[in-house]
Amino acid sequence: MQTSALKPIARLLTKELLIAVLLLLGVSLVVFFILYLAPGNPFATLAGKRAGSNWHQIQDNEPSGAWYAQYLHWLGRVVQGDLGHSTRSGLPVFNEVIKTGLNTAFLTIGSILLTLLLAVPIAVYTARKGLTAIGWGLTAGSYILAALPSFWFGYIVIYICIHQFGVFPLAFGADASQWRGIYFLLPVLVLGLCSGTLSEMVRYLREELSRVLTEDYIRTARAKGASIWKHALREGFVLPVTEMVAAKIPFVLGGAVVVEQVFNWPGMGRLAWQAAQDRDFPMIMGITLMAAVFVRTGSLIKQVVHICVNPRASQE
Amino acid sequence: MKSFTQHPIPLKAPFWKKAHPVDVAYIGYGLVIVVMVIGSYVLGAVNWLPHDPAAIDMALLNAPPNTAGHWLGTDFMGRDLLTRLILGIQAYFLPGLTAIAIALTVGSFGGVVAGYWGGRLNLVVTYAANLIDSFPRLVLILLMVAVFKPDIYLIMIVVGITNVPIVAGLIKSKVMLLKEKNFIEAAVALGLGNFRIIFKHILWHNCRALLIIQATLGMAEAILIETSLSYLGFGVQEPIPSWGNMVQAGSNYFLQGQFWPSTAPALAILFTILGFHLLGDGLNNILERKTG
């Protein structure tokens, strides 16, 4: 690529980065306002509780300040990585969220990969062959999986493990036997199959691929005797896949809350559940912010891929 | 590929004759489910049920189907499963409709504003949509539940709001497409007001199908979300039955080999969600492909 072509790409990338920062600011404002409007303004009490022994500091944090003063004060701390301390365990929220966030990232990325691994062949097959009996069966299977309650499916999997294989598949807290691999893979399997993303992914990928396969440039490629797949790869595969993955991250993160609960997976979703039970405001705020960072990062990566694959279309 | 000169079915034929039989089957199945859902709602509303939903029979715990007058068996407290399944839809019906109403009205408003006027308004709507999309739905619901209280309507308002970006995006692209069409230009040239063009010519005549499809998908989502929340303990609370808390309560007996009390509501969820999804899909294939 020439340097003259790189410049607009760099400009687009900075634009996307700016948008992501703006969105995260918006997210923080929304989270702040949900807590600000909560009964008794727990936000102000929290800030007061967290303050040090310095009397001025306490006064600084009193709810007397206007909302924007409180917001800026809070935002300043958040940007420095200070999300406060959990009211339940007293541990710093930031460390907890990062620690559990890594486990959740592993779970979500693994399950999205699994979904892709299943969705792509089904989509390619049905896009090429139309709805034959096999294609129809595969599509119907993906619909059924999307409609099942994931925790019910999880219990079935656990039941099968106990009664067929004689293992008790809780992700952590089990002994390091030869089955340890399965403990990690089961939640990924359940989330990947049952988060409701499979059928949508199949449908979207199939539609995009069949649309691209009817385009003129594919017909030309076919007439030339060139490989269709090489030509259809960018628009028919890379773009829809990244689009779908980025769009489904929030869904899968939501599904992770349930699946982590079923398999006792020490992730962010389980922590969020615990925090909601205990009304542990700093914790649930921190988790919401971190989840938003996850989502925005995914969509930023998607934008980068789109810009690199097709810079002209991204310029609007 | 079919030839364009001969069309075996006259163009004026109703849409179900022109449609692919698979799509018709989808829609048929979906409509059966919709009728069953509405029927269950009415049965519950007029209290015309096979058993008392709260009657506890300690002699018949987790009974299999077809025992002692209980067609679908009983749950962990000996209550009739069929009755509770019928009543369970009450937990979703009005809350689900609330979620759908919010998603459709706010979504079409945003979509029309962004698509029809474009420019800065489009930027604002896109920003708002991306902002909402940044929150994983279940995490946002947990936040709301922690801050306020676990209430099904509050939860469904959040579900509605998180569905807004999807509706807004679809309506926006549709409006942008329609704006280029001759009939909208003609309407503008005739001096029709924006209000009339938007509501009659854009939303009513051209976005109806899309909104109906989104409504069916919205109902499916409401059921799935409530199920997940019931599992987490924030959904509809016992003793009021919902399919979610029935699956949850039954799954406590799963490892003892008592599958049925949990599987019956899980199957109800499966068939219902499948019905709404297939209805949406079939309608989409038939109605949207034709115009788009």
The Cα A74–Cα B150 span in angstroms is: 26
Q: How far is B12 from chain A (nearest CA, A)?
A: 27
Q: Which two structure tokens, joined as six digits, stand for A11?
A: 């400009």
Please answer whether residues B213 and B37 qualify as being in contact, where contact means their C-beta atoms are separated by less than 8 angstroms. Answer: no
Q: B13 pLDDT exceeds 80?
A: no
Q: B11 pLDDT exceeds 70?
A: no
Q: Which amino acid is at A236?
A: G
Least confident of A225-234, B128-137, B228-237: A225-234
Task: List chain A domain ranges.
Answer: 1-39+64-82+290-316, 102-278
Average pLDDT rounded to a whole number, residues A133-151: 85
Query: What pairs with residue A137 in β-bridges?
Result: none
Question: Tell me, which fold does domain B87-287 have in CATH?
Answer: MetI-like fold (1.10.3720)
* B245 chain-A contacts, CB cut-off 8 A: none
Q: B6 exposed, middle or buried (CB, 10 Å; 0-12, 13-18, 19+)?
A: exposed
Angle at A233 between CA A228 and CA A236, to 5 degrees: 100
Please answer whether residues A86 and B146 qualify as being in contact, where contact means their C-beta atoms are separated by less than 8 angstroms. Answer: no
Q: A63 pLDDT exceeds 80?
A: no
Average pLDDT rounded to a whole number, residues B191-203: 84
The Cα B147–Cα B137 span in angstroms is: 15
Q: Does A136 touch chain B (CB under 8 A)?
A: yes
Please answer whether residues B190 and B201 qualify as being in contact, where contact means their C-beta atoms are separated by less than 8 angstroms. Answer: no
For B164-177, how does the pLDDT look when each residue is reduced to its tens digit (9 = 90+)? 999 999 999 989 88
Q: How far is B235 from chain A (nearest CA, A)?
A: 13
The Cα B84–Cα B268 span in angstroms is: 11
Task: List chain B domain ranges.
Answer: 87-287
Please answer whether residues B234 and A261 qualify as being in contact, where contact means their C-beta atoms are separated by less than 8 angstroms. Answer: no
Q: What is the ipTM of this complex?
A: 0.84
Please answer whether residues A26 and B131 qualify as being in contact, where contact means their C-beta atoms are separated by less than 8 angstroms. Answer: yes
Residue the block writes with tokens 């918006």? A26
The Cα A31–Cα A27 span in angstroms is: 6
The Cα A244–Cα A118 span in angstroms is: 14
The Cα A254–Cα B159 span in angstroms is: 12
Answer yes or no: do A276 and B142 touch at CB < 8 A: yes
What is the predicted pLDDT for the residue at A183? 72
Please give the C-alpha separations between residue A238 and each of A30, A229, A233, in angstroms, as whole numbers: 33, 12, 6
Q: Which two structure tokens, joined as six digits, stand for A152?
A: 């019910």
Answer yes or no: do A23 and B231 touch at CB < 8 A: no
B146: Cβ–Cβ under 8 A, 6 or more apart, which residues?
A: A275, A276, A279, A280, A281, A284
The Cα A284–Cα B138 span in angstroms is: 12
Evaluate the omega torsion of the peptide bond into residue A282 and state whether it is cis, within 30 degrees of 0.
no
Q: Does A258 touch chain B (CB under 8 A)?
A: yes
Q: Which amino acid is at B10?
A: P
Chain A residue whose CA is closest to B253: A155
For B39-82, how does the pLDDT look when each residue is reduced to its tens digit (9 = 90+)? 888 888 888 777 777 777 777 777 777 777 777 777 777 788 88
Q: A266 pLDDT exceeds 90?
A: no
pTM for the model = 0.84
A198: Cβ–Cβ under 8 A, 6 or more apart, which residues?
A: A115, A118, A119, A142, A145, A146, A192
What is the predicted pLDDT for the residue at A58? 38
Tell me which of B139 and A226 has the higher pLDDT. Answer: B139
Selected from 1.10.3720, 1.20.120, 2.60.40, 1.10.3470, the CATH number assigned to the domain covering A102-278 reads 1.10.3720
Query: What pairs with residue B70 in β-bridges?
Result: B67
Average pLDDT rounded to a whole number, residues A157-174: 68
What is the predicted pLDDT for the residue at A26? 93
DSSP-assigned states of every residue in A129-141: H-S-HHHHHHHHH
Q: B107 pLDDT exceeds 90?
A: yes
Rounded-to-5 percentages of helix, strand, coil across chain A: 80, 0, 20
Nearest to A144 among B148, B228, B270 (CB): B270
Q: Which two structure tokens, joined as six digits, stand for B152?
A: 């099904």
For A167-205, how does the pLDDT look when each residue is reduced to its tens digit (9 = 90+)? 665 545 445 555 556 677 888 888 988 877 888 888 888
Q: A55 pLDDT exceeds 50?
A: no
